[in-house]
Homo-oligomer: A and B are copies of this chain.
Amino acid sequence: MSLIVINFKAYKEGFGKNALKLAKIAEDIASRCNEKLALAVSFLDLPVIVREVNLDVFAQHVDPISFGSFTGKICPEMLKEVGAKGSLINHSENRMKLSDIEFVVSKMKELDLISIVCTNNATTTAAAAALDPDFVAVEPPELIGTGISVSKARPEVVSRAVEVAKKVNSKVKVLCGAGISSREDYLRALELGAEGVLLASGVVKAKDQKKALEELVGL
């Protein structure tokens, strides 16, 4: 079963009460379709959504630290303690140093948390795969938030990322993202070898979030 990760970002429509509402919509839709849905939500919303919603909930970022003398930082151990399933790492809007990505991926693995390392092209996807995360998610930054889907506009990025990532690490799963909003975009991504997608505005900023998500999963 492939995976659809909905990144709520810092969108007003995906924060606070809106986050919980959207998470509930996703939970309902997930129960009625054949796709696996997961949510990446704000730190401020994470504990309540973990408690209230029966879907895998991810953080959007995690800092390369452990418990200790740090201020305003979130460590993997904290995510574990609040019940997150894992975290996005190195998203285009929160890029990290190579050594920090490695630290976090390694720590997440120890804690049985799922790592989704975002990348910007096929080459960085191969590099990320070498760190042995659970998922890599290739997203050409220039398409993020555009509604022009990577699977249509840059199909070769997806297929090439799958190829080089699997060559480096046959166990890693490859997602793709950027501009994906329709079921067609999604299915095209799967045809290109992706094992799921990462999306945000296509659902979170949709006029009708429920309808957008239902369309995406084929309801």
Contacts and interface: CB of A to CB of B under 8 A. Distances in A.
Interface of A: 7, 9-12, 15-16, 40, 42-44, 46-48, 59-62, 65, 67-75, 77-78, 81-82, 88, 90-102, 106, 119-121, 123-124, 126-132, 144-145, 164, 168, 200-201
A48 B195 CA distance: 36
6 nearest A-B pairs in the assembled complex, by CB-CB distance: A61-B72, A43-B43, A60-B72, A71-B93, A71-B91, A10-B70
Contacts of A46: 44
A142 to B, nearest CB: 12
A217 to B, nearest CB: 22
Contacts of A15: 67, 78, 81
Given A44-B46, A129-B130, A132-B123, A145 B59 contact: no
A215 to B, nearest CB: 22
A200 B68 CA distance: 11
14 contacts: A11-B67, A16-B81, A42-B43, A44-B74, A44-B82, A62-B72, A73-B94, A99-B120, A99-B124, A126-B168, A127-B131, A129-B130, A130-B168, A168-B168
